Chains A and B, each alone.
Chain A
Amino acid sequence: MKGMNGLRRYHWMVGILLLALLLTGCKTGHEFIKGTEFKDDDKIVVVFAGPVEETWATNVSNFSAYEKPDPDIKLQITEATLGPDQTTLTVTFGAPLNQGEAHILTMTNIISEGQDMGSVTVTVQKLYFGVLMTVLLGAALIQNFVFTKYLGLCVFFGTSQRRDTAIGMGVVFTIVIVFAAMMAWALYQFVLKPYQLTFLNIVVFIGLVSLSVQGVDTILRKVNPTLFKAFGVYLVLVIANCIAIAVPLMLADNEYNGWESLMLALGAGVGFLLALFLMACVRERLELANVPPSFRGLPIAFVTAGLFALAFLGFSGLSIY
């Protein structure tokens, strides 16, 4: 019961975090544009607040678009069609769009009911929440660090013998990796990159992981001794986990922003927890199974891990957003 009360204290923090996450997903636009979105592979749909002239809407030269990072490369627009309600405009491009990037669409001199509404530039992008979810699921399932990248195997095999050990290790690892990844992101973006010191990435990130392990150790020892007694053993093991160094390096390589880094770290942690838990469940049952003597212990565990890796390949086609 005491633990539950402790959790309740942090509920408002979680609420604010979720709210901030949802708000970042909202799009801002021009007042005459009700909404923009990608459609199919090569289309952008614009919904206007009022009816626009068909002669304006079907003239391709009224539109120009580019990907946000490359303003010089104009995308080729092959067709523009107006829906029967005269408010839905579909712009078709000559080539499939890279929908992971934000696209800037400029519409010159919009004519609505004989009136010139001026030129409008809108940003078309996937809902940011979806992008974040893709990063999270990608790190947890599709590109699971243990089963598809084969990282962190020593800790994985060392602590997956029993279920409670596995959960303890997974939870502690998730906490530490989130701390370390957020600090790594801040240091990389605001210190290492501006001063051209990116070749020191590995040194700095290893230091940060050790730092967060030590920090969590110090604080947990005082704040929650019960939790510390349960998890303290695994804290030290986190330093020996190579996922802890892979996550900062990945977020630096991919130039993730703060939210994406948070999701990557969370996904890595949850994915590791999932991998440990699944493995521990199987290994507990293997204790009772009749395994050939030469396969007992680690060998059969490696075989099991390989089977899990095969099963996780099934997630590679997963795309929700």
Chain B
Amino acid sequence: MDPVLIKIALGGVATLGCIGLFFGVGLAMAAQKFHVEPDPKVEEVLHTLAGAQ
């Protein structure tokens, strides 16, 4: 196969990997920073309801 194509493909994998890692870490950090304790009562009430809709 053409080495130029292989280079582009590997570069693409590396770049996408970097982008994914960067934003993944960013989202994880945001989730940690903006963490909200879920209210256990809401869960309980939802569980008790029929939940047809």
Chain A contact residues, CB within 8 Å of chain B: 187, 191-192, 195-197, 200, 203-204, 207, 211, 214-215, 218-219, 221-223, 225
Contact = CB atoms under 8 A, between A and B. Distances in A.
A211 B15 CA distance: 17
A200 B12 contact: yes
Contacts of B11: 195-197
B50 interface: no
A197 B27 CA distance: 24
Interface of B: 8, 11-12, 15-16, 19-20, 23, 27, 30-31, 34-36
B27 A214 contact: yes
B16 A218 contact: no
A191 B15 contact: yes
Contacts of A187: 19
A44 B33 CA distance: 56
Nearest to B28: A218
A222 B23 contact: no
Contacts of B31: 218
Nearest to B38: A221
Given A195-B11, A196-B11, A219-B30, 15 more contacts: A187-B19, A191-B15, A196-B8, A197-B8, A200-B12, A203-B16, A214-B27, A215-B27, A215-B30, A218-B27, A218-B31, A222-B34, A222-B35, A222-B36, A223-B34
A221 B20 contact: no
A211 B27 contact: yes
Contacts of B19: 187, 191, 204, 207
B20 to A, nearest CB: 7
A114 B41 CA distance: 89
B32 to A, nearest CB: 10
Nearest to A183: B23
Contacts of A204: 16, 19
Given A187-B19, A211-B27, A215-B27, A221 B36 contact: yes
16 contacts: A187-B19, A191-B15, A191-B19, A196-B8, A197-B15, A200-B16, A203-B16, A204-B16, A207-B23, A211-B23, A218-B27, A218-B30, A218-B31, A219-B30, A222-B36, A225-B36
